[in-house]
Amino acid sequence: MEDDPPTRDTLIAKLRNPADAHAWREFVAIYEPLVNRLARQKGLQDADAQDLAQEVFRAVARAIDRWEPNTARGTFRGWLFTIARNLCINFLTRRDPAAEGSGDTRNLDRLAEVPARDSAQTATFDAEYRRRIFRWAAEQVKGEFAPNTWRAFWQTAVEDRPVAEVAAELGLTPGAVYVARSRVIARLRRRVEQLGDETAARIGGDDGCPD
C-alpha cells in the first residue's frame, strides 16, 4: 500500500488546482449527495437538484482561490452550505436568474456571504455531512482489511451490537474485536484527516461512528 499523503495536503488546497481531477472527483463524491438532499428538501425534483449541484460546484470552482477560513465564513462546509442554500433560493424564486450562471465576482461573493439564518437546517446539513464523510471514508478503506476485521468493526461500531455477541459469531475473542475496531477507526480518522476536516476527531468518539 502506498504511503498516505501528508495531512497538510488537504482536499481544499488541491481544489485550487483545476487540473487535479482526482481531487475534484473526491470533492464531488463527498458533497454532491449533500447538495442534492438540500435541494430535494427545498422541493426540487431530482433533475433540478442535479442541475443545482452542478451549478454549486461551478461556483465553488470559480471562488475557491479566494476562500480562506475566518471567523466570518467559518468552515469550508459552512461556506459551501451558504452557496448551495442561496443558489437554491435563487432557483426557486427566479428573482435573479442571471446570478446563477454568472461568473461575476460580486455575484459569487454575494452568494457566499449572505448568511444562512436557519440554524436547524444548518445543523441538519452538518449531520448529513458527518454521515456522508464517514460513509465515503469507509468505502475508501474497506478493502484494506480482512473481512472479519471489517465485520467486527462495522457490527460493533456502526450497528452497535454487543462485542461479546459479535466475537462469538465471528469466532474471535472480545479482545480481538476491540483491536479490530480500533484499527479500522484509526484508519478512518487518517483518511478523513487527509481532507483537512475536523470530522476526523469525532469518528469513534463519544458520539460513535455516524451512520
Grid coordinates standing for 51? 442541475
Alpha-carbon span 185 to 153, nearest angstrom: 8
**Can you tell me which residue has the cell 481532507?**
195
Q: What is the pLDDT of residue 172?
A: 96
pLDDT in tens, 99-123: 444 444 444 444 444 444 556 666 7
| Average pLDDT taken over every residue of the chain | 77
pLDDT of residue 112: 47
| Confidence at residue 83, expressed as pLDDT on a 0 to 100 scale | 85
Sketch out the chain's domains with CATH numbers.
Answer: 11-117 (1.10.1740), 130-202 (1.10.10)
Confidence grade of residue 166 (pLDDT, cut at 50, 70, 90): very high
| CB-CB contact of 81 with 125 (8 Å) | yes
Contacts of 62 (CB under 8 A, 6+ apart): 103, 108
Of the pLDDT bands very low, low, confident and very high (cuts 50, 70, 90), residue 211 is low
The pLDDT value given to residue 209 = 65
Residues 28-54: tens digit of each pLDDT: 988 898 888 888 887 888 888 888 889
